[in-house]
Structure 1
Amino acid sequence: MKRSLLTRTRGAALVVAVSAALVGCTATSPMQTMETPGSPADGIPVDLGVVQVKNLALVSDAKGGPATVTGAVENTGSKDATVTIAAGESQVTAQVKANSAVLLSQEGPRLQVTIEQGPGENADLMLTSTTGATSQAPAPVRPATGYYEEYAPTAPASPSDSPSPDASPSS
């Protein structure tokens, strides 16, 4: 009985020592993801000053065709703003009232641009806001499957016939 108690005590001491050693490793070696700024979403963030674009992504079935613009645009400014999203010669606009946000291709008409890239690639977009900010962004192109199935392009986008929606602000 005495030997069993001694074995248990040694085992418990070993567990405590190993636990302390493992905790020490994480304290001296922080996670790499904590040091890298990023977005925990499928899309990318774009900073346009008081206008912020969040989770910006394109949805397309094939390379070299129409793509639906998805994401959210938030306007924290005191004046209404218009954001233009251009992919080459093709562009769309979204209007965002002051202190509100809109969900692209959910509130209002579906926003579509024509891109050369296909699913799994990045498409260079130029974003411009009426607040004066401009930014170039490499938006990821997602396949129209799973969550993105409802955003599959509906018709070919044309540079001369790009929609200019007046999206409603979200509450």
Structure 2
Amino acid sequence: EKNVEALLRAWKQCNLGESSKLVIAGDGPLLASLKPFYGEEQNIIWLGFVASEQQRIEILRAADVFILPSLLEGLSLSLLEAMACGVACVATDAGADGEVLEDGAGVILNTHGVTSQLKTLLPLLRDHTDWTTLLGQKARARVLERYTLSRNITQLERLYEEVVKIRLVQLSRRA
């Protein structure tokens, strides 16, 4: 579950002013029930599903912060995309997302009490643009360091080599 309502509740409670906008991308099953309740009067923009990769990149590059309040997650591709775009990232410690953001590459939320954590964090992110810039730089550096295609292929090749060596040793012992 993406837990978007926790973000929406925090956003509504913070009342960040007219200059702040919350852009929600995606069309999950709760969209139909959340959109009428939270509407657009809270400076919330509902984009729905964004199929174009180029359009997603443009949206991310225009953002100050990317927030992923998921309760369940593996390794979020959207988080990696945001990091690659140099956007400050906030995500829960669900799945591997917390691991990706550790050591200052982003802000990690506990999956318990996401709304209250975001209620504290949102004004800080708005008011400290030097901090969000630094977070974005660290996020991009992390992606380039650990999550590029060439690095993943190299790691996969090493893993295969290790498995083959182990298997050859096992076979030679049987002979």
- Normalising by structure 2, what TM-score? 0.20
Q: Larger % of strand: which?
A: 1
Q: Larger % of helix: which?
A: 2
Pair member with larger Rg? 1
- Normalising by structure 1, what TM-score? 0.20
